[in-house]
């Protein structure tokens, strides 16, 4: 371990056991991704702490969570843009423009009582397949590397 900083390992283990994503399990449209994006130690620690402060939800409201993260704005998130276009197309919306996407992202996508669910196969944020911060910042043995 190279770092003087470490994640709260009990909280990390709880997140591994309990977090699945955002939205509504009863929604008509489910999207399953690999994991949510996380940048460096500070960003990931903030994400996990906000998840904890919000009640350690199995599934959360994506807008409310990102508002608490102070990262919510009206810019179209590129990954969500594609997912929103799929939903709007499936619902029969024609000539989908950027304003349609923006409105859906703000008001509908992965909200608690709405029609979409964004689930993650892996519960811990990571910036890429090649980058794994948990081996350096956690003492949890099963997090020593991505393969484990």
Whether residue 148 is contained in a domain is answered as no
Q: Is the separation of the CB atoms in 118 and 23 below 8 Å?
A: yes
4 found inside a domain:
no
Distance, in Å, from the CA atom of 16 to the CA atom of 56, rounded to the nearest integer, reads: 11
Mean of pLDDT values over 6-15:
95
pLDDT single digits (tens) 95-145? 999 999 999 999 999 999 999 999 999 999 998 889 899 999 999 999 999
| Cα 132 off chain centre by | 16
Report yes or no on 125 lying in a domain.
yes
Tell me the whole-structure pTM to 2 decimals: 0.91
15 within some domain: yes
| Domain annotation covers residue 2 | no
Is 63 part of any domain? yes
What is the total count of domains within the chain?
1
- The answer to whether residue 108 sits within a structural domain is yes
Q: Are 124 and 16 in contact (CB under 8 A)?
A: yes
Which tens digits make up the pLDDT trace of 24-80?
999 999 999 999 999 999 999 999 999 999 999 999 999 999 999 988 877 899 999
């Amino acid at each position: 371990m190279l770092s003087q900083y470490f994640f709260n390992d009990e909280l990390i283990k709880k997140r591994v056991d309990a977090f699945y994503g955002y939205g509504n399990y009863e929604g008509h449209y489910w999207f399953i991704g690999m994991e949510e994006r996380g940048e460096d130690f500070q960003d990931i620690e903030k994400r996990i702490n906000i998840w904890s402060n919000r009640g350690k939800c199995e599934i959360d409201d994506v807008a409310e969570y990102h508002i608490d993260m102070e990262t919510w704005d009206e810019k179209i998130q590129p990954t969500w843009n594609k997912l929103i276009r799929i939903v709007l197309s499936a619902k029969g919306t024609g000539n989908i423009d950027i304003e349609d996407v923006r409105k859906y992202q703000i008001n509908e996508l992965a909200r608690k009582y709405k029609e979409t669910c964004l689930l993650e196969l892996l519960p811990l944020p990571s910036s890429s397949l090649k980058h794994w911060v948990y081996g350096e910042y956690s003492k949890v043995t099963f997090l020593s590397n991505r393969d484990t």
